Structure formats: structure tokens, C-alpha cells
A and B are shown apart, each in its own frame.
Chain A
Amino acid sequence: MALDDNIPRLGCGRSIDEVWTTIDQPPNAHEQDCDQCRTARASLAQLSEATRTMRGHDEEDPGLQPRSAVKDAIMSLARAEVRRGNRIPIHQVEQGVIEVSEQAISTVIWFGADALPGVRARRCRVHPDYPDIADNPGPPARTAGLTVDLRIAVATGTYIPEAAHRLRQRITGMITAHVGLNAGTINIVVEDLYDV
């Protein structure tokens, strides 16, 4: 067996790392019989205990706890990032990529959909037509189109085919005007009716 000269070893040939790895377990047969391993285990056990104690103090030391303002800021941003959803690459040139968050596009769609009488927008998912746009720039520039999956509720008595047609037109116009993209497929699911 080739031994690495850089690793400190006990007289019995075992490395100190091997002993440390099993310090939380009972000694094996070799370690019970080997004086050097027993001595090393005794020293490392003290080190392990000291480490455990210091770790415990760190967890309880008020001086090492983040201030509540910092925790609040982290949690607030974490929640915002979850709400924003995926970042969709929409435009790629040699100088860089432009992305837009799924939530930003959904906001535009909800704004347009809710302006239609008898329609209430619900869950909205947005997908780029070219998901690999960020990896394959292609000359001279590439701009993605979008596929929209929108769930809605409509007022009772609404003629659904007509409402869906107007909604598609509205979403297409909103995405073009406010995002700057072409809406390709717009899938609409009417999942509920509500009383006016």
C-alpha cells in the first residue's frame, strides 16, 4: 500500500484522520489493542468534546446571533424570491441576456384579464418558447416568445368561448405592449364559476 508522506501517521501506520473519523464510535479491535491508537483516541476525544462545547456556546451566544432586522430582511427577500418564480430569458445578444421574472409577466396578464368584465384571473404560468435562449445566442439577437397557461373563473351567464377569445386578444396585447414579447400559445382553463 502506497503511503502519502504528507499525512501524519501513528507508529502503527494508521492516519490521524482515520482515528478522528470514528471518534464518536466505540474503538474497533485494532484500536483496543494498539497503545498508540488508544492514546490518539483519548487526545482526540478531548478535542471532540471541546469542539462540541464551543459549538454549543456559539449557538447560544447572543453576540453571535443575527439581529432580528437582519433575519426579517432575509426572510422578506426569500419570500419575494419565491413569489417571483422563475427568471425567463427573453432576449440574448453577445453583450448579455435580458431576463424577466415569471411573476412580472403574470402581473401584466392578471392586470389585463381582470379588466375584462366577468373574468377573474387565477393561477398563471408562463414558459418561453425558446427555453435554451440563454445558452444559444445565435446571431444577431434572439427574442423569445411566450406560452401562457392561465386558469380563470367566470361569472355565471358568461358565454365562455366569446370571453376566452376576448381574453386571448387582451393578453396578447398586454404582453406585446408592456413586456415587449410575442405571446404564442395562450391556454385558458375555466376552473370555476362565480355568482355576480
Chain B
Amino acid sequence: MSERPLEARLINSDLVADLAARAALDTPGVLRLEPTLKNLLAHLGAGTAHILDRTRTDSTPTRRDGVFATVHDGVADIHLDIATDIAYTALTVAQAVRVQIARAVSHTGLTPGRIDIAILAIEHPPAATEASRPKPV
């Protein structure tokens, strides 16, 4: 057995954002995460802050394309912007995403807080052909 000590690993908003994104994309009916203008500007702002060497705190929100995550006092709050496949019921997909994200966050030892989900597009998957498209109800 190695005597080398294990490295401590902090569960921060970056990791939570990654987990949320992965959980969402693994949920059937989710086509993609949707970047928004707020997302992009926040990203650019974070880059500027990094350049200016501002202090980053644990509660600083993390933005991925379509994901905002904040960890504060052991609670993870997440906002997700998604596009769903028209072959699925969008509300059902969003509810499933919320369940999957809450489960993934729980596994980190954090408490899932608010999980807000915005469905920004409902459309056919890019590779869908006319034949494979769902019949209109």
C-alpha cells in the first residue's frame, strides 16, 4: 500500500455543473443544452474577472453552455436551458431531467436545492428523416 496521501477533492460548482450537464444529456428526449446570451456574457465576464485576477469564492456561479450552478452552504442550485426532441413530451422530459440531476447531486454529498429548467426549443433531432419523424397527433 502506498504511503502517498490521497489528494483532497472539493465538490464545487464546476463539478456540479458538469454533473448536471451530463445527467441532462443522458436523459432520453434531451437533444442538447442551449447556450443563451446571458450564458455567453457571463462566460465572457468570468474570463475578464479571471484576467483581472479577482478572487473566486465557493459560491461563485459556474456557467457551462446552458448550465448555471451555484453551491452555497452545502446546497447546490442549478438552472438548465435545454432543447427537447419533439417525439417526447417536453414537460415529462424536463421532470425526468430534474430527477436525474437531483440524484447525481445527492451522490456528491451535497443537497439538491432549486433545479430550474427552461425548455427553449422543441424540435426534431438533427439526424431525423421524414420517415422517422413522429406522426402528428
Q: Which of B3-11, B13-21, B49-57, B94-102 forms part of the interface with chain A?
A: B94-102
Sampled A-B contacts (18; CB under 8 Å)? A74-B40, A77-B40, A91-B95, A95-B113, A96-B116, A97-B117, A99-B116, A103-B121, A104-B120, A105-B122, A108-B122, A112-B137, A177-B137, A178-B88, A179-B90, A180-B90, A180-B91, A180-B92
Compute how far the CA of A98 lies from the CA of B114 in the bound complex, rounded to whole angstroms.
11
A residues lining the B interface (CB < 8 Å) = 70, 73-74, 77-78, 80-81, 84, 87, 90-91, 95-101, 103-105, 107-108, 111-112, 115, 143, 170, 173-174, 176-181
Compute how far the CA of A77 lies from the CA of B102 in the bound complex, rounded to whole angstroms.
29
Question: Chain A contacts of B90 at CB under 8 A?
Answer: 100, 104, 178-180
Answer whether residue B136 sits at the interface, using C-beta atoms and an 8 A cutoff. yes
Question: Chain B contacts of A95 at CB under 8 A?
Answer: 98, 102, 112-115
Question: Chain A contacts of B95 at CB under 8 A?
Answer: 91, 98
Closest residue on chain A to residue B77 by CB atoms: A96
The 0/1 profile, CB within 8 Å of A marked 1, for residues 32-60 of chain B is 00011101110010000000000000000
Answer whether residue B119 sits at the interface, using C-beta atoms and an 8 A cutoff. yes
CB distance from A92 to the nearest CB of B (A): 10
CB distance from B114 to the nearest CB of A (A): 4
- Dominant secondary structure at the B interface: mixed
B136 contacts A115, CB within 8 Å? yes
Question: Chain A contacts of B39 at CB under 8 A?
Answer: 77
Within 8 A of A (CB), among B40-93: 40-41, 44, 84, 86, 88-92
Given A77-B35, A173-B137, A176-B137, check contact A98 B123 (CB 8 Å). Answer: no
A77 contacts B137, CB within 8 Å? no
Compute how far the CA of A143 lies from the CA of B95 in the bound complex, rounded to whole angstroms.
12
Question: Chain A contacts of B119 at CB under 8 A?
Answer: 98-101, 104
- Dominant secondary structure at the A interface: helix
Compute how far the CA of A176 lies from the CA of B91 in the bound complex, rounded to whole angstroms.
10
Contact of A70 among B35, B44, B91, B115 (CB under 8 A): B44
B86 contacts A111, CB within 8 Å? yes
Question: Chain A contacts of B102 at CB under 8 A?
Answer: 95
CB distance from A12 to the nearest CB of B (A): 39
- Contacts A99-B119, A178-B90 known; list 19 others, CB within 8 Å: A77-B39, A81-B37, A84-B121, A95-B112, A98-B95, A98-B98, A98-B118, A99-B116, A99-B117, A100-B91, A100-B122, A111-B136, A112-B136, A112-B137, A173-B136, A176-B137, A180-B90, A180-B92, A181-B91
